[in-house]
Amino acid sequence: MAVVESVLKREFKTDLFAQFARIGGALASGRRLELLELLAQRERNVEDLARLTSRSAANTSQHLQVLRAARLVEGRKAGLRVTYRLADERVFSLWKSLRELGESRLAEVSQMVRTYLNGKDSLEAVTAASLRRKLERGDVIVLDVRPAEEYTAGHIAGARSIPLPQLRARLKGLPKRREIVAYCRGPYCILAYEAVALLRSYGLRAFRFEQGFPEWKAGGHPVQRIEAKR
């Protein structure tokens, strides 16, 4: 009897860890991790994701199917297209934890970030706690420089939507004596870096939020979304 119980216990452990490995296997692709980061902004269809990642629709669909099989994303039919979203907020938390572990344990990640991103922003970025205090005091203008559809799906409460391609044309509407904080999709998104550089070139007091909208939301800070008109 003891032998049978031992065998059953071993089978249970083997099968259990195999199930967990399904998630690890789905994450074992840089392309799929990029898809998760994009889906953290809003729901997207295959064509949209393919365009943003410079991949074919067929290749993108294959990666999405792997993520879907591991229950990391969900899909819903919208006309002739399938729209994908993260299965729940814990999927983003998993990606964020993986990213932070990579930053702390992989020297290559730190080197790439220092080489490519740090040189784009000579001043210290604004933390979430600091940005929230500034918003509560009303002494800061927060710019969401992501595409408008991402802002509509969800944004930092009180932020203005000025997508990066429109920023230069809308500079006159920004007060010169107010501090401006720009944010985009996350710490590796260059949209905010480019926005801050442009704003400073015109003499504005601009800074970058050190994270992005998904991190702000995951931290429990106030967010807003624009309801679709019926």
Structure tokens at 5: 């119980």
pLDDT in tens, 167-184: 999 999 998 889 999 999
CATH of the domain at 134: 3.40.250.10
* Domain annotation covers residue 29: yes
pTM, rounded to two decimals: 0.89
- Which one of 92, 108, 132 terminates a domain? 92
Q: How high is the mean pLDDT of the chain?
A: 93
* Domain annotation covers residue 131: yes
Residue 122's pLDDT is what? 65
* Domain annotation covers residue 44: yes
How many structural domains comprise the chain? 2
pLDDT in tens, 145-163: 999 999 999 999 999 999 9
CA-wise closest residue to 54 among 74, 73, 34: 34
* Domain annotation covers residue 14: yes
- Which one of 92, 111, 141 terminates a domain? 92
pLDDT in tens, 32-69: 999 999 999 999 999 999 999 999 999 999 999 999 99
Assess contact for 192 and 183: CB atoms under 8 A. yes
Poorest-pLDDT segment among 92-96, 117-121, 206-210: 117-121
Residue 77's pLDDT is what? 87
Residue 111's pLDDT is what? 87
Q: Between 124 and 192, where is the model more confident?
A: 192
To which H or E segment does residue 182 belong?
strand 179-184
Residue 82 and residue 145 in one domain? no
220: left (phi over 0), alpha (psi -120 to 50) or beta: left
Q: Which residues are catalytic?
A: 184
Helices (H), the chain: 2-27, 30-39, 46-53, 57-69, 89-105, 107-116, 128-137, 148-153, 164-167, 190-201, 213-218
What's the first-to-final CA gap in the chain, in angstroms? 65
- pLDDT confidence bin for 191, thresholds 50/70/90: very high
Q: Within 10 Å of residue 214's Cβ, how many Cβ atoms?
A: 21
* Domain annotation covers residue 51: yes
Residue 6's pLDDT is what? 81
Handedness of CA 192, 193, 195, 199 (dihedral sign): positive
Q: Between 80 and 22, where is the model more confident?
A: 22
Residue 88 and residue 183 in one domain? no
Residue 176's pLDDT is what? 87
Residue 57's pLDDT is what? 96
Assess contact for 99 and 40: CB atoms under 8 A. no
Residue 163 and residue 212 in one domain? yes
In this predicted structure, the answer to whether residue 229 has a pLDDT above a threshold of 80 is no
Residue 205 and residue 214: Cα distance in Å, rounded?
A: 25
In this predicted structure, the answer to whether residue 205 has a pLDDT above a threshold of 60 is yes
* Domain annotation covers residue 97: no
- pLDDT confidence bin for 115, thresholds 50/70/90: confident
Residue 65 and residue 210: Cα distance in Å, rounded?
A: 32
Residue 145 and residue 218 in one domain? yes
* Beta partners for residue 156, in sequence order: 223
What is the four-CA torsion angle of 59, 63, 211, 223, rounded to 10 degrees?
110
Q: How far is CA 160 from CA 41, 131, 180, in A?
A: 16, 14, 11
Residue 85 and residue 68: Cα distance in Å, rounded?
A: 10
In this predicted structure, the answer to whether residue 89 has a pLDDT above a threshold of 60 is yes
What domain range is 183 assigned to?
Answer: 121-224
